[in-house]
Structure formats: structure tokens, C-alpha cells
Chains A and B, each alone.
Chain A
Amino acid sequence: MTSAPPEDLFTLRRRPASDRLVDGGFRNLTIVLASFVAITLLAIFITVFQGAREAMREFGLTFITTSNWNPVDNEYGAFTAIYGTLVSSIMALVIAVPLGVGTAIFITENLIPLRWREVIGVMVELLAAIPSVVLGLWAIFVMEPFIRPFLQFLYDALGWLPFFNSPPQGPGMAPAIIILVVMVLPIITSISRDALNQVPNELRQGAYGVGSTRWVAILSVILPAAVSSIVGGVMLSLGRAMGETMAVTMIIGNSNNFSFSLLAPGNTIASMLANQFGEADGVQVSALLYAAVILMVLTFSVNIAAQWIIKKLSLKY
């Protein structure tokens, strides 16, 4: 004989209305929270774009191609700042990528005892914890005087190249590039380290199993397997470098006179905004917002390119 289960043991077989309400409410709450980010982003873009419209009408594309920045006559061209933004961030990456990826390889592959690797890893992460204004101070008072003899040597030896054809005079593009290296190094290193750690150990063993030396295994098997995330990290840090403000403003010299020389003072969009917004009015505000739009477009495209490259390069294993 089959007996029906006692009915009072499972009291929630039918969900009460309040239970459903909580579920639905939670769903709506997450929608609100998630949209908040997107709406903020859109709102920022629209506001900045609105503010920039006056300057866009007035200067059009000549804003991008000329470097005459004269608030007295209300003439604005941001070429120096755009050039400075691109050159400083790209040069910083040229230096930081080999350093960062190299460090990541060093602390993931067992080249030195685990203890030392952990210490180096922690130190790299601590580097990211230094506030940028402190880095800027350090750049002004310690780093720049320290590297000045080397910059002077570059000028003396390679002064015939347009990139080194002015004497170093303190603040300038070169120290700004170096401070950017310091700032993006932790990002590149920690993302590369995570990427290398995610390469399955079986793949490593496979490489060593056919008789690879360590370098062959790293260069032809492990790095290619991790390259998509590494490139993604590099692109993220490019976006970071372009938008970096404080430390760069303190050391770059903030000059709107265009010069190819890396030893001369220069400007980036971010440092120009930081420097001039306080005392700007009228068309100058609009011109600065126009520059901000350009900076946002640059960083957005870098981020989108990063997503695309990660998708393209990612391997299955």
C-alpha cells in the first residue's frame, strides 16, 4: 500500500507570492545597477561633446593639425598635445612591454627560487599602489636630475636626430615617458603573469617532453599560448598611459610649442586639461572640451581594439 507523504513536512512546495516578489525585485535592482554604468558613460560623453561643439564649429579639423594655442587671440590647435599624448604613451609602452613581460616570465617560470619570485611579484604590485602625485614629485626631485646626464649625452651624441635636437632643460617628454613606464609596468606585469599562469602545465610539460630548452619552450609554446591576454593587458595600459594626468603634468613641462625632440618640454591632452581648466573661460573651455573628446575617442578606440585583438588571438587549448 502506498501512503501519501505527510503534507505538513514540506510547507514551501508552493512558493508564496512574497517569495516571487523578492525574486522579481532583485532582478529589477540588478538592471538598474547595471544600467547606471552605461548611462553615466553616455552622459559624460554627451556633456563633453556638447561643450566642445562651439570649438568644433570654429576650428573644425584644423584644431587637430595645428599647434597654435593662444588664449589671448582665441586661436586653438591641439596638435602638440595630441602628438605628445601619442608619443609619450607609445614610447612608454615600447620600454615597458619588454620589461613587464620579461618580469612576468621571470616570476612565473621557475628560473629562481619561489621565495624570490613572490617577493618580486609583491614589489611589482606595490609599485601600482604609489599615488601618481608622489611619483610626480619623485620624478621632479630625484629621477629627472638623475637621468639628466644621460639625456645630455643623448643630445651631445645624437643631437643631429630630430628626436634629440634640443638640450635637456629639466622637465620634458623624456622624463614623462619614464614616469609613464613606472606607472604602466605593474599593469603589464601582473596581467602577463596571470596570462602565463593560466597556460596549462600540460602544455609546458609537452614542450619540455620533446626536448625543448627553457627558452624555446617559453618563446615558441608558452608565450604564444598567453599572447592574447598579454596583448589585451598592453592595450589597457596604453589607454591608461594616454589618460594619465598628474605625474605627467608635473614633469612634462606643459609647453604648447611643438617640437619633435623628446628632450624638450611638451604636453599631453590630459596635462593640458589639468593645467588650463582652472583659468579658462569662453571659447577656451570649449577648446579644452574638444581636446577631451579627442582623448576619449583615442582611449575608447584603444579599448575596443584591445577587445578585438583578444578575440582574434585567443587560442583554444
Chain B
Amino acid sequence: MTSTTQATPATNTCLALENVSISYGSFEAVRNVHMDIPAGKVTAFIGPSGCGKSTVLRALNRMNDLIEGCSLKGRVVFDAQNIYAKEVDPVEVRRRIGMVFQKPNPFPKSIYENIAFGARINGYKGDMDELVERSLRKAFIWDETKDKLKESGNALSGGQQQRLCIARAIAVEPEVILMDEPCSALDPISTLKIEELMHELKKTFSIVIVTHNMQQAVRVSDQTAFFNAEAVEGGSGKVGYLVEFNETERIFNAPVQQATQDYVTGRFG
């Protein structure tokens, strides 16, 4: 990358949601979301429970396909292609848009295999040992695991497992990493480690993170989207929608919407 040609980051869109509505069966979970997620930055989704932020996140790499009865209207554009177009293979989408989940979920295999598995199915032709070491280093977990690569990934602590899962995600070198409340099952120290890691990772990847923790959004993200849910007349339950999407600084200090103001100052939710 050359430093002379500085593209204005704001115009560099990585994922664009165009009028996205997502339903589970007949229940509409999220309605009419428009947003342009910037490349090379950390974007945080915040909002009260049930506002559909995780649903939107999982829509970004077609993870919702695995949920029975889940359907999406609208377009999600990645690399000038609607990833929900008929001819697009969701497997290929997920190879370019990786994911880290709420609960650490290492495979019941060795630490080495946890990393190598994804690389192998992505047809990695390089030196596997080197890739495993590089990925574990990038996820700040190499020092803790280098002597026990043959041991099960489940032998690690929760925080280590989550960093292993991040290493697993970056090993396949996706362009985007989605993180669904990656720290909610972790202690504060592990959380801090993963937040540091995110600052490092955004140099290489675009990151989208769902978090319940507003301080975390402030600490790690450049852009923040606030989702809320409202009851719909005649419908059962609440439907989520995007209230406001802006620079994190603005969302927390000078939000445009009253609802955002109320949420970030802790007056509800």
C-alpha cells in the first residue's frame, strides 16, 4: 500500500445494505435497513436486546441461511455483487467474510487442526506450519499455545478459545470479519486482550462487531450503528430497525435522534 494515494475512507464502502428486511417465518425481525459499512474500519452495532443487530450481522455472510425459515428482502452488496443473488454460492461468501461467534466454538480437534482446517478447505497451497504460526501470532495467542499445538482446542481457557477462533477466522484471510458479541462470555482481562487485537486487525481487515457493551463500542469502533425495536400495529412482537449510523464519536456525543441519545446515556435499554 502506498501512502501517496490516500483514498478518502468515507467513500470506501465494503458492504452496502440496501433496504434489507429480514424475517423468521412470518415474523419480521428487522425492517428496511440501509447502510454502507466502510472498509478497513471497525463498525459496531449496538442496541437493546431483540433489535435485530445480530440478525443483520449474520445476514452479512449468509449465516442466516442455516436458520430454518429465515428470509431476506433487499440487497447486500459486497464487491459490486449482491450476495443474495441466485448465482452466488453462500460457501464462497463465507470464505471471504469470516465470522467469530458469541460463544467460543473451537472444533473438537487439536489447536493446529483448528487453524489448518479452514485453510485446507479454502485450498491453501502454502506452508501450513507457517500459516498456523502466523495466524496464532496475529491473534496474540502464539505464546500460550506454541508448546501444545497438538492438544485439543477445548483444553484452553474461554478467552484463549475465543482468540483461537479469531486466529481460525483470520487464517483463511477473509476480507471482512464479523464478530457477534465476541466478548460476552469472557472475563474483563480476556475482553481487553481481544479489544487490543481488534485495533491490530483493522489494519488488515474490515471488522463488524455486535456488542451489548457501549464502552466497548466506544473503545474499539470507528463507526457505530444504533438499532432499536418498536412494536408494530397488528403484528406480534417488535420489529427492529436502524435508528442512526454515524462516526462513533458523533453517536455517543452528539446523536441526531432522541432515541439514540436516550440509549447511549443509559436512560433505557
Contact mask for chain B residues 85-125; partner A; CB cutoff 8 A; 1 contact, 0 none: 00000011011001111010111110000000110011000
Question: A246 → chain B, closest Cβ, in Å?
Answer: 41
- Are B91 and A213 touching (Cβ within 8 A)? yes
Q: How far is the CA of A203 from the CA of B161 in the complex (A)?
A: 13
Establish whether residues A210 and B172, one from each chain, have CB atoms under 8 Å apart when the complex forms.
Answer: yes
Known pairs A205-B63, A316-B152, A317-B154; A210 contacts B105 (CB<8 A): no
- Measured as residues with beta carbon below 8 angstroms from the partner, the interface class of chain A is 20 to 34
A208 touches B66 (CB 8 A): yes
Inter-subunit contact B169/A204 (CB<8 Å): no
CA of A205 to CA of B108 in the docked complex: distance in angstroms? 14
Also in contact, A202 and B101, with CB within 8 A (given A211-B95, A315-B108): yes
Looking at A205, A206, A208, A221, the one whose CB has the most chain B CB atoms below 10 A away is A206
Task: List residues of B whose CB falls within 8 A of some A CB.
Answer: 61, 63, 66, 68, 91-92, 94-95, 98-101, 103, 105-109, 117-118, 121-122, 152, 154, 165, 168-169, 171-172
B168 touches A205 (CB 8 A): no
Q: Is the CB of A216 within 8 A of B154?
A: no
Contact A209 B108 (CB under 8 A): no
Asked if A165 is at the interface (CB within 8 A of a chain B CB), the reply is no
- B105 & A212 in contact (Cβ 8 Å cutoff): no
CB distance from B128 to the nearest CB of A (A): 15
Q: Which 4 A-B pairs have the closest CB atoms?
A: A211-B95, A210-B118, A202-B105, A209-B99
In the assembled complex, the CB of B225 is this many whole angstroms from the nearest CB of chain A, namely 22
Q: Distance in Å from the Cβ of B29 to the closest Cβ of chain A?
A: 18
A315 to B109, CA, bound (A): 9
Given known contacts A110-B68, A216-B121, A210 and B169 CB-to-CB distance under 8 angstroms: yes
- CB neighbours (8 Å) of B92 from chain A are 211
Provide the bound-state CA to CA distance between A316 and B121, in Å: 24
Contact B107 A209 (CB under 8 A): no
- B68→A114 contact, CB < 8 A: yes
Instruction: Report the bound CA distance from A315 to B168 in whole Å.
Output: 20
* CB pair A316 B154 closer than 8 Å: yes
Residues of A within 8 A of B103 (CB): 202
Are A224's CB and B108's CB within 8 A? yes
Q: Is the CB of B107 within 8 A of A203?
A: yes
Q: Are A317 and B108 in contact (CB under 8 A)?
A: yes
B101 — which chain A residues lie within 8 A by C-beta? 202, 205-206, 209
Q: Give the chain A neighbours of B118 by CB distance below 8 A.
A: 210-212
Residues from chain A with a CB closer than 8 A to the CB of B94 are: 208-211
- Residues of A near B108 (CB, < 8 A) are 203, 224-225, 315-317
8 A-B pairs whose Cβ atoms sit less than 8 Å apart in the complex: A207-B107, A208-B94, A209-B100, A210-B95, A210-B118, A211-B95, A221-B107, A315-B154
Other 13 A-B pairs with CB < 8 A, given A221-B107, A317-B108? A110-B68, A202-B101, A202-B103, A202-B105, A203-B108, A205-B66, A208-B63, A209-B99, A209-B101, A210-B95, A210-B122, A211-B121, A316-B152
- Counted as pairs of residues, one from A and one from B, with CB atoms less than 8 Å apart, the total is 75
Whether the pair B169, A209 counts as a contact (CB closer than 8 A) is yes
Q: Is A220 an interface residue (CB 8 A)?
A: yes
Provide the bound-state CA to CA distance between A203 and B66, in Å. 12
Contacting pair B66 A206 (CB below 8 A):
no
- A200's partner among B61, B91, B105, B172 (CB-CB below 8 A) is B105
Across the interface, name the chain B residue whose C-beta is closest to A212.
B121
Query: With A114-B68, A202-B105, A206-B105 in contact, do A211 and B172 touch (Cβ < 8 Å)?
Result: yes
Q: In the complex, which of the residues A203, A210, A216, A224 has the most CB atoms of chain B within 10 Å of its own CB atom?
A: A210
Instruction: Please measure, in the bound complex, the distance between the C-alpha atom of A40 and the C-alpha atom of B50, giving whole angstroms.
Output: 56
Q: Which residue of B lies closest to A214 (CB)?
A: B91
**Nearest chain B CB to A115's CB is how many angstroms away?**
11
A317 to B106 CA separation, bound complex (whole angstroms): 8
A37 to B68, CA, bound (A): 44
Closest A residue by C-beta to B106: A206
State whether B107 touches A212 (Cβ < 8 A).
no
A204 engages B91 (CB within 8 Å):
no
A208 CA to B154 CA, complexed, in Å: 19
B66's contact among A204, A211, A224, by CB below 8 Å, is which? A204
Residue of chain B at shortest CB distance from A314 = B108
CA distance A220 to B113 in the complex (A): 11
Q: How far is the CB of B131 from chain A (nearest CB, A)?
A: 13
Chain B residues with CB under 8 A of A209: 61, 63, 94, 98-101, 169
A213 CA to B66 CA, complexed, in Å? 12
- Central interface residue in A213, A224, A225, by most chain B CB within 10 Å: A213
Interface residues in A158-213 by Cβ distance below 8 A to B read 200, 202-213
> A208-B94, A210-B172 in contact; A220/B105 too (CB < 8 A)?
no
Residue of B nearest to A199 (CB): B108
Within 8 Å CB of A317, what residues of B?
108, 154
